Each structure stands twice: as C-alpha cells, then as structure tokens.
Amino acid sequence: MSDKKKWDLAALASIPLIMTLANSMLIPVLPLMQKKLNITAIQSSLIITVYAAVSIICIPIAGYLSDRFGRKLIILIGLTIAAIGGIISGLGAWLLQEQAAYYVILGGRLVQGLGAAGAFPIVLPLVGDMFRSQQQISSGLGMIETSNTFGKVLSPILGSALALIVWFMPLAVIPLFSAISIIAVAYFVKVPKPKKQKKDSPQGLGEFVKNTKDILAQNRWLYGIFAIGGILMFVMFGFLYYLSSVLEEHYHIDGIWKGLLLAIPLCAICLSSFIAGKLVGENKPKMKWFSVIGAVLLTASMLTCGLVNTKSIIFLISVMFAGGVGIGLSLPSLDALITEGVEKEQRGTITSLYSSMRFIGVAVGPLTASALMSHEEWLFYLLAGVALICSVVALFGIKPGKGKGKRKKAVA
C-alpha cells in the first residue's frame, strides 16, 4: 500500500473514531448530566437513544444518496451536520438551564445522529471503492473497525476526564473533532473516477427500493451477514452495560477508573479487529472461519458468565476480554465479505442496511441488559444463545468460494 493510500485510509479512519466518541463518550457522564439538568434517568438515556434512533432510520437513505451522488460528498455533508448538532447541544448546555437546556441538547443530538448516518456507514463502501486488491480492502476494513473500537475504548476515559473540566465539555468538543475529520477527508481522500457510463435518467426512489429488493432476493446470504452484525453489537453493548453497572453498584467504582476497566474488553475487540483485518487478506474461506470461531468464542464466554455466576472483577473482565476477542475476529471478516460480495454501484446501499442492523443492536443491547439485571444468569444465557445463533448462521449461511478474488464466487 502506497503512502498516499495510507493517508487516505488514516483520514477515513478518523470518521468512525469521532462518530463513536460523539455517542459513547456521554455514557459515563449521564448521571452527572441528570443532576445538572434536573431530569429523570429515562430522560437522560434519551440523549443516547435519540442519536442511535435517527441514525437507524437515515443510514439507508444516506447509502442511496452515496451511490447516486458520490461517497465523499455525502461523508463531508454528514460530518458538517454532525458538527452543527454538536454546536447546538454545546450552546444549549452553556447558555440555558435545566429543562430548557435539556430539550435543546436533545434537539442537537437528533441533528448529530442525522449527520452520523451520512458519515461512518459510507466509509465501508468507500474503502471497497478505493482499493483494487482484496488484501488491501481487508486490511483497510480491519483498520476502520479498529478505529471504531478504539473510539469505544477511549470514550469512557475521555468522557470522564472532560467532564472534570465542565460537565457539558463532552458535548462541546464534538464540533472540533468533526472539523478535524472534515479537513482530513477533504484534503487527503481522493475517490477514484467512475467509469464512463451511458447517460441514463437518475434512479428514482421507487426504482431504488425495487432494485434493493432484487439485490437481496438474489443474494440471500446478505441476511445472514446483517443478522450476525446486529447480534454482535447487541451482545457487546449488553455485556458492557452489565459490567458498567456491576462496577458502580457492587464495587463502587466510577469516573476515570471505571472507564479504564471498561476499556479492557474493548481493547480486546480493538486489537483482534486489527489483527483479523491483516490476516484474512483475500482468503474468503478464512473470512468465514474467523467469523465462526469469533462467534463460538463469544458464545463460550457468555455461557461461562451465566454458569459460574460470580461478580469477581478479575473473572468478569477476563471472560469478557475473551468475548471481545471473538467479536473482534468476526467484524472485519463480515465487512470484507459484504464489501467484496456486492457490486461497486450497490455497496453504499447494502453496507448502509448492514450498518443500520448494527445500530439496532447498539440500541437494544443496553435496554435488554437493564431489564434483566435482576436475573443476571438469564441475561448471560440470552447473550450466549444469540451468539450461538451467530455461530450457526456463519457456519451454514456463509459459503465462500475457494478462490481469492472472483466476486461471483464470493458467497453462494
């Protein structure tokens, strides 16, 4: 990979890092926001939920627009909208008080979620567009997943540290981070020129929906990829919510120390994502088996937590570290399969649907974990059960060809 391509990839990797920080950085400071704004716990949770909810709805639309008008343009617009949302939330927290500030913050978060829908999900197909070699695509996607997970590792620590300066600082820094990413993408990322095509009338929304249905009907394996991606995020955010609650309620650990402990299983995801992206290369059977092994490892770790039923901090973090390794092995492999298995002109739409499924897992995981906190063993049995479903779907639903690069042989 040339130095120029490395700079391109580094600029793109800044996007998932910043979009992850924009959401996850607020999680450790929600109790403080609740006190400052004089709101209920449910109201404070909406600061996170509204961001993910609007993203789920808008991501497929952003994918359609990226296929039609170009990935780089949609990414830059998305980052700009996210920065505007951050300005709204930051000014609302600074200039207003309590309920008035809360509703302005909520409005800003909604705008941020709209911008996020046009940023990170479009990065995946853009990486597939920029590189010809499947080895480079797999490596690039591994770096993107690593950046995304590194944002989750950094979020609880950075959010807690910024809140020590002033409680709304985690909200106020997002426009600055977004501006850095806008400059990096605008300056470094050079999108390959599309091949000349016949002048056809632009694809309408109705035709777009019909074509999307046709793609899914012809490539039913995509449903398996969507399901695995959503389930992995569901399990990850479910066990992270549980660990966060146990650290605070059972061990009375909060603030930066809590963030550091939460970062340990996230580091496992980060490192294994990077390594898996390097190792899978152009080998599609290897992509499949990394997905299967990762899901099996995740199943075993969640089942162990349910069977042993202990709150030993060393045990919990060790087992969840192993589960994090399993998630990290699977994600880059799924990204590579879905990017290589779909034609270039359709990647934005399909990968956006995949990202929406992942966001659903992000939104539902903490809610499910909170509902089952009084029945911890059943929570982990549920997480183990859905992870087992991932294993079965990856084993029997993903059938890559033996070759390295032929898209038609990518997945049966």
pLDDT tens string, the chain, 412 residues long: the values are 556 667 777 788 888 888 888 888 887 787 788 888 888 867 877 887 788 788 888 887 887 788 778 888 898 999 999 999 999 999 999 988 888 999 999 999 999 989 888 887 788 778 777 776 667 776 777 778 778 778 878 887 888 888 888 888 998 899 998 898 899 888 888 776 655 444 445 555 566 677 777 777 777 778 888 899 999 989 988 888 788 778 877 888 877 787 788 888 888 888 888 888 778 766 777 888 899 999 999 999 999 988 887 778 888 889 999 999 999 899 888 877 776 666 666 666 777 788 888 878 877 887 788 778 788 889 999 999 999 999 999 888 876 554 444 444 333 3
Burial environment of residue 280 by CB neighbours within 10 A (0 to 12, 13 to 18, 19 or more): buried
| DSSP conformational letter for 118 | T
Instruction: Tell me how far the alpha carbon of residue 92 is from its chain's centroid.
Output: 27
Q: How far is CA 134 from CA 121, 137, 192, 294, 393, in A?
A: 19, 5, 16, 21, 23
Q: Residue 327 in contact with residue 298, Cβ under 8 Å?
A: yes
pLDDT value of residue 42: 72
Q: Residue 221 in contact with residue 48, Cβ under 8 Å?
A: no
Amino acid at 297: L
- Range list of H helices, 250-312: 255-280, 284-308
Burial environment of residue 20 by CB neighbours within 10 A (0 to 12, 13 to 18, 19 or more): buried
Q: Write down the pTM of the prediction.
A: 0.75
Q: Which of 322, 32, 267 is nearest to 154 (CA)?
A: 267
Distance of alpha carbon 239 from alpha carbon 248, whole angstroms = 14
* Contacting residues for 374 by C-beta, under 8 A, at least 6 apart: none
